[in-house]
Amino acid sequence: MLVNLSIRDVVLIDRLDLEFQPGLCALTGETGAGKSILLDALGLSLGARADARLVRKDAAQAVVTAGFHVGPGHPVEPLVSEHGIDGLEDGLVLRRVLGSDGRSRAYINDQPVSVSLLRRVGEALVEIHGQFESQRLLDPSPHRELLDAFGGLEPMTGDTKTAHGDWRRAADLRSEAEARLEAARRDEEFLRHAVDELEAIEPRAGEEEELAERRMFLMNSEKLMEALNAAGTELGAGNASRGVEDSLRVVVRQLERVADKADGRLDEVIATLDRALSDVTEGQALLERAVSDLDLDPRRLEEVEERLFALRALARKHQCTVDDLAPLLEDMAAKLAAMDDGADGIIQLAREEEQARERFRDAVNRLSAARTEAAARLDEGVAGELDPLRLGKARFQTRVEALEEDDWGENGGDRVCFEVATNPGMPPGPLNKIASGGELSRFMLALKVVLAQADPVPTLVFDEVDSGVSGAVSAAVGERLAHLASSVQVLVLTHSPQVAARGGYHWRVSKSSSDVGTRTSVEVLDVNERTEEIARMLAGARVTDEARAAAESLLLGTTA
């Protein structure tokens, strides 16, 4: 609800700070006192179109700040959170700064925002109904949502939204499968040739590195053989008469013959030479084995190079690495397998899509039937409010129009529109096309009374909703405003004493002139001041005791 309104330098208002309460607030005052200025200032803070003429004469700028308390779960929460606006737990503060050059700036919780966002937030917080305009309900776009809330259809709308999402996902899966199959079939010849080619070579991960190392070895095998042969020659014939092994064996035998005469001095020498003889013997055996294992067949090098180059050529062809060829083969083979099985898979996906579509159809049809029933109850409720408001000959109709199935969506298959016929026999039409200014405000009041629990807008403003009606109708208007104010905050600008007497609190708007100019001010009236104001509204310029008595009777009657 609206908590406070701060106005600076707007037309005849230089400085005004207002604190609001829940319930019904009546604003009265003589014609021209400045009640419309208050509405213009409030509208400015809510994102209404800015006009430089609203800036007070000789002032550089006008500033209007409106503070709101926002209850948990209000639809405005995701809207402001989406734009990164914090501090909702402390309420919302909407501020508009309008320069004398006509340029304006908008803020929400002191964060600069666009005027369009300020307007969207403002429309979710306050709804203004005037004689010739009604901001929100004249637009058919929220009518469906209001009807659903009135009928308590949120569970059904949730089921419909879920069913629509399930159907769309099933349709997307089937569509994607068909696209993959179509693409695979376009490339079928290429895929089969590529798979045959890859299967023939049987690539495996890490093979390129192994082949490269093997190729390098084979390319150097001739030099290796020469080195091995030379080493073998040296070991086998270290000098002209014998090899290293024979020489070591002769030396060991000669030393062993005289070892017992050396008093142990040759023991370590003989042991070391024995070990050397053993190592040389083993080294000769390993060298001979390496020579025998060395593959000098030139055809082997050709085979290794042929496979290595073939793998690299395939990798270039498919624009991947050699190690990626094996996974590529698996992927292509899987696509061919999917192509072979794809038709059956698509049939199954199409069956699941149709089942999901049927569930969506059922949800839409149930929701449509429930909307039709709720529309009848809404029409009946509004009809009960029209006669006391001198609209007894008028007819209100909630039109629930079935859409073509191709136009169904997550909100179901209906278009909802509130319509009226002001005269018997006339076809109903949109509210803003059929109803006159005074009728429109009363239609809005009747509709608001019935929709009070369903509409999330917490603050309603009615500008002279009682214009042009008699005392009995004014009393009915006041009664309905008071009833409406038990659910939402209501501000009414009125010239009717019957309506003003229904207010939970009462403000008087007045205008005064002095040497510094003309100024508009607002006074909060106490009980005696309120009686005097209502008496003035009853009697005119000269307030009589009879008028005061009538005012007291009105106030007493509203509290009885």
Contacts of 513 (CB under 8 A, 6+ apart): 519
Least confident interval from 45-54, 73-82, 154-163: 73-82
**Quick one: CA dihedral 22, 28, 34, 36, positive or negative?**
positive
Nearest Cα neighbor of 329 from 201, 207, 199, 180 is: 199
Q: 554-559 long-range CB contacts below 8 Å, 24 or more apart?
A: 554/497, 554/498, 554/501, 555/501, 555/527, 555/530, 555/531, 557/501, 558/478, 558/482, 558/501, 558/502
Q: What is the pLDDT of residue 316?
A: 92
Nearest Cα neighbor of 43 from 159, 151, 128 is: 128
**Quick one: CA dihedral 516, 517, 522, 525, positive or negative?**
positive
Q: What is the pLDDT of residue 229?
A: 65
Q: Model-level pTM?
A: 0.66
Concatenating the DSSP letter of every residue in 47-116 gives TPPP-GGGBPTT-SEEEEEEEE---TT-THHHHHHHTT---GGG-EEEEEEEETTS-EEEEETTEEE-HH
| 135 has a pLDDT exceeding 60 | no
| 87 has a pLDDT exceeding 80 | no
Q: Reduced to 3 DSSP states, what percent helix, strand and coil does the chain have, rounded to the nearest 5? A: 55, 20, 25
Residue type present at position 280? V
Confidence of residue 425 (pLDDT cuts 50, 70, 90): confident
Q: What is the layout of strands, in order, in the sheet containing 24-28?
A: 126-129, 459-463, 489-493, 24-28, 505-514, 517-524
**pLDDT tens digits for 309-341?**
988 999 999 899 999 999 999 988 887 877 777
Confidence of residue 132 (pLDDT cuts 50, 70, 90): very low
**Parallel, antiparallel, or unpaired for β 517-524 and 459-463?**
unpaired
**pLDDT tens digits for 334-361?**
878 777 777 778 888 999 999 999 999 9
